[in-house]
Amino acid sequence: MLHFLDELDADGARRAAERVHPSGAFAGVPFLIKARTPPESPILTRLIAAGAIPIGWATRARPGAVSLTFGWNGREYTRNPWDVERSPGGSTAGGAAAVAAGVVPLATGGDSGGSLRIPASFCGIVGFKGTYGRVPRPGGRALGGLTTAGVIGADLDDVILATSIASGPHRLDPTSLPHWPVPTEPEPIGRWRVAYFSTLGRWGADPGVDRVVRERLVQCGIEVVDVPLELAPTDDAWSVLSALDNGRGADAAAANRAREVRDHNNTALADLFTEVDALVTPTTLTVAHGYDQHEQSIVTGDPCWIFNVTGHPAVSVPAGLADGLPVGAQIVAPHGADEVALAVARQVLTDLPQPPLR
């Protein structure tokens, strides 16, 4: 009914289970791989080395689609366990649906424009994009530098541990950062101070989505500070950098403009973070859209794209429900301060009821 599988690998899972050593951090824990992930991907090899068992490949959006906030298995659209008429988001669609439905606790993905955070928001789970380079990628040094590999999961601690295991230098990716140990989450002096923006671009969040995140910040005792933030629009810059990452090329003038946008926004955010510990937004401007309405809903992930351009750590956690559907809060911290984003996220995170199709 949810159509979250691209391909099941039952035989491979049994063989992997026979080789698992009980001392592994994820010994015997099943997970799904995002479809078309290269088998040499460091996030796969390192999770498997830690005892995790891949049971198959999860759906993702069709290649070349205008908007990627959906999943497709070649025959059917992937559905959201909160409402089968809705999309689980994307492009890590099947992984998010399976995690939310309780099939697996973790699924791998990559985030170049919200592909971990958007489905986490739509499905009421956790999606974490670390600082650019936090998890090495098999493609090596990217020209555009948008994508960070990562995981989505039902539990924040599992997501943190999996990210730590997958982190560290790798011969396939010279831009990968040093190993990131599971952090001792920092304690603020007083309360965490955050800047909250319901939108960072031309489109505003739905009032119900905005209200859920604002009310959650009040409920969890975080101090919201009014700080100005002037960001350059990232739509064109993201498109140019994505073209570079995917081998389509871009003319020199467009690439230079994209660099200028990245530099401007990095500086603006650095200034913001001298006043606050973190930045909070709704992860998506809407709750989950219809399972085949991705093109009409292309702007829903607008709060996510900018942080792929800048490379900041960003995590989405459930903040509540609007009209019975999950709403995610996105927490962003300075470059390299992944532990701050996660500590604030832990305070913001709220437990949701189980979805109807769990």
Residues annotated as catalytic are 34, 91, 115
Residues 6+ positions from 247 with CB-CB distance below 8 Å: none
Please compute, for residue 111, the number of CA atoms within 13 A of its CA located in the half-sphere on the CB side.
37
Question: Over 82-143, what HEC string results?
Answer: CECCECCCCCCHHHHHHHHCCCCCEEEEEECCCCCHHHHHHHCCEEEECCCCCCCCCCCCCC
The Cα–Cα gap between 293 and 289 comes to 6
DSSP state of 251: -
Q: Which helix (H) or strand (E) holds 332?
A: strand 325-332
**Cβ(104)–Cβ(32) below 8 Å:** yes
The Cα–Cα gap between 195 and 56 comes to 40
**Cβ(99)–Cβ(140) below 8 Å:** no
Token readout for 213 is 């995140």
- Percentage helix, strand, coil for the chain under 3-state DSSP, each rounded to 5: 30, 20, 50
Considering only CA atoms, which of 86, 95, 98 is closest in space to residue 122? 86
CB count within 10 Å of CB 163 equals 26
What single string gives the DSSP state of each residue in 156-224? HHHHHHHHHHH-S-BTTBTTPPPP-PPP-PPPPSSS-EEEE-S-SSSSPPPHHHHHHHHHHHHHTTPEE
Range 244-249 contact pairs with CB under 8 angstroms and sequence separation of 24 or more? 244/142, 244/143, 244/144, 245/112, 245/142, 245/143, 245/144, 245/145, 245/146, 245/147
